Structure 1
Amino acid sequence: MTLHRNIDPGLAVAVREGALPALDLGGMSVEDLPGLRRQMSEAIAMMEPFPRDERVTIEERTVPGPDGAPDVRLRIYRPASPAGTTPALYWIHGGGMIFGQIEMEDPRLSHYVVELGCAVVSVDYRLAPEHPDPAPVEDCYAGLVWVAKNAAELGVDPARVAVGGISAGGGLAAGTALLARDRGGPAVAFQLLICPMLDDRNTTPSSLEFTDAVVWNRAANLLGWKALLGDRAGGEDVSVYAAPARAADLSGLPSAYVDVGELEVFRDECAGYALRLAQAGVSTEFHLYPGAFHGFDGMVPAAEISRRAVAERLVALRRALFT
């Protein structure tokens, strides 16, 4: 790995010391992904489990999936001692549309519950290539519909439900917000889009630049989109709910927070989407973190820039859900 000259010093140390997991998808095909995913799941299963925080309760529900599809698994995090009805964050994990497990989000989401006093519902959507578009976004939307219908049982205020996610989950969160708008579905109070995966066309300057990148490079991104969309990737026949950057009309969407690292494939599509949201009349906050690579805050949480990014997201959620 050749470090970019502009990488943040606090992040560079972790890269040089080999503290980050290696993910090289160059030369892999879509057919290789199920086997690689199984290997990753086995490795994760051998890791020491995340210690539960007594201030947070965690339960799982299986709820109706999209029409004719399997049920959807949700993981629900709530304050152990809630102060009445709370807002909620509906969360969608990352993984490039091809990886990811909701259990991996326990630390992040437990932290949100403790710091904000809100509920969080995390959705276990189906992954590509076994389940191509529109399965992932339809699973996410089905879970959101269930949360809205069962808000009273969950102790959640249905008027204060945000949708958020990271990487592929950020793109799915944006797609879910578009579906909710276009189908007259649940009211979404806010979008928290962390380094979202938004554009299958892969033609922006940053998409072309980062052939060698920490965590997620151009080859990995092309593979993720290929798994989700097959031969449609990059062509004309792609839904805006799969690739929200393609949406011509962003008006009427909930206010948004978008952040992304300077040194990653998604930089330009995220910046462009945030600007277009604002131009469409959607109140939008955008952060470009200098010297940061994809998923930096989760990979190197002790770095100053990571702590700052986490703090800014909490500020945005608190403002959107509690004021």
Structure 2
Amino acid sequence: MSTITRSLSEERSDETKRPQGLSALDQLEAEGIHIIREVVAEFERPVLLFSGGKDSVVVLHLAAKAFAPGKVPFPVLHVDTGHNFPEVIAFRDETVARLGIDLEVARVQDYIDDGRLAERPDGTRNPLQTQPLLDAIAAGKHDAVFGGARRDEDKARAKERIISLRDEFGQWDPRNQRPELWSLYNGRHLPGQHVRAFPISNWTEADIWNYIDRENIALPPLYYAHQREVFRRDGMWWAVGEFSQPRAGEEVVRRTVRYRTVGDMSCTGAVESDAADTASVAAEVQRSTLTERGATRADDRISEAAMEDRKKDGYF
């Protein structure tokens, strides 16, 4: 009896020394890792959409943690518009080489060259990514596609479940969403269909930056304040480059800017900022009243339903 009493006493003492619950970031991390492991266990050929942007970098970081000390057990896929920031492409290649994972690339330029797609009058290539993406998913026989979308980015993304079904044409029906009670995820699908899986769906932009700061995660340098030649258009600072040139009356100036998102150069603007490290960026994001897409993505300003229309067709 005395031995049992001492054992229970010791257990109670140990309990008082343990942390009283996980932090918010710990809970988000645990949820993300759980989702990634569930998808890998349930599906045969998952793939991660990886652009080198902060959200896909965080998902890849979670995947590396989920399967450590082994390597990430699935490839990454990038739909290259041909108008990407060179710094981001370099970071993408360095990251996959460091982690020793396979990189699949679908190039919009190949589709333009052979006539399957045509350049848009506005020069923006982001909306042209859908067909190369769907073809790459079919060619790789991928039945689950991880993405870095978050619900706080856009109204259309807020509608989507963590495990989201795409039909045999790669299309999404926002009226046909499966319930996900008690963190139970339904991955059932018919041949030819696939799912999109969003491990950081419940994160905010502030969560992303606080996590990047805590984990000391490397990012492309564009995310931090730097000097760049820019011009003003539609309330955004556009970088002067091969795919974004000022029009008549648009003055080129030099500003200290950074990027909140690093999509196609022809539709992604910068914001004035002196935030040169992760902690400063995290603090800046806390003060912002606009999401990163609302503040810096011209392709989302085509219409109020621009994102939802593209997602219905098979976009990210």
Task: Mark yes or no: TM-score above 0.5.
Answer: no
Which protein is bigger by CA-based radius of gyration?
Answer: 2
